[in-house]
Amino acid sequence: MKEYSSFEILGPIMVGPSSSHTAGACKIARVAAKICPNNYESVEFYLHGSFAYTYKGHGTDRALLGGIMGFKTYDNSIRRAYEIADERGIKYSFIPMNLGEEYHPNTVKIKFNYKDGNSEYVIGSSIGGGNMIIVDINGIKVEFDGKFPTFLFQYDEQKGVIAEVSTALANDNYNIESINTSKDELTNIVTLTVELDENANENLKNKLLNNSRYLTSKYVEV
């Protein structure tokens, strides 16, 4: 399990008793909902570590529900997350589960289920002070915190992808905050994560996201 310094965990304005259990959880769910298609039929929250033991008392359940509905950490609607989710017809369940020793104690796997029988999931950890990190998207290991606008690309291993993306950003005068790749050794599928220091305009999004070389391509702006 990775350790984080005190400089990484300064907290936000929030609703709830614990920044780790409410603000961080809300951010994880907000990002997960932006990564996965929003036409899901139901959502399952698999709660690991301390989340599994205290999710009701510390408001983690409401924060997660509020997050997938797009609420920000300071939104008082989080207190009514159950009611609002029911009003919107969202089917949900909370399932305590040991996800493995490699995960931070405040970790949740959010699984979105679709009518066609398919599902997608995101795993994120709340690392303290209301901060979080996304560590897994559909079995692909990643590491980004949602603080910056982020492009996510998945593709079969091939040459030239990073150069193509970097060139497109440079041509439109965008600065790269960070860029990382990870590869699934079994499938040779690569995940490219590119964080920008400002929001992408529609022209750039259309240029990068509508490319047949990617298996999936997403833009996350929290």
Give the pTM.
0.81
Q: Give the residue with greater pLDDT, 141 vs 181.
A: 181
* Residue % of the chain over a pLDDT of 90: 68
Domains of the chain, start order: 10-138 (3.30.1330.90), 150-220 (3.30.70.260)
Average pLDDT, rounded, for the chain: 88
pLDDT tens digits, 174-222 = 999 999 998 888 899 999 999 999 999 999 999 999 999 999 898 988 6
H, E, C per residue of 28-74: HHHHHHHHCCCCCCEEEEEEEEHHHHHCCCCCHHHHHHHHHCCCCCC
Please check the confidence at residue 97 and state whether its pLDDT lies above 70.
yes
Residue 129 has a pLDDT of 80
Of the candidates 63, 70, 66, the one whose C-alpha atom is nearest the C-alpha of residue 47 is 63
Contact 29, 67 (CB under 8 A): yes
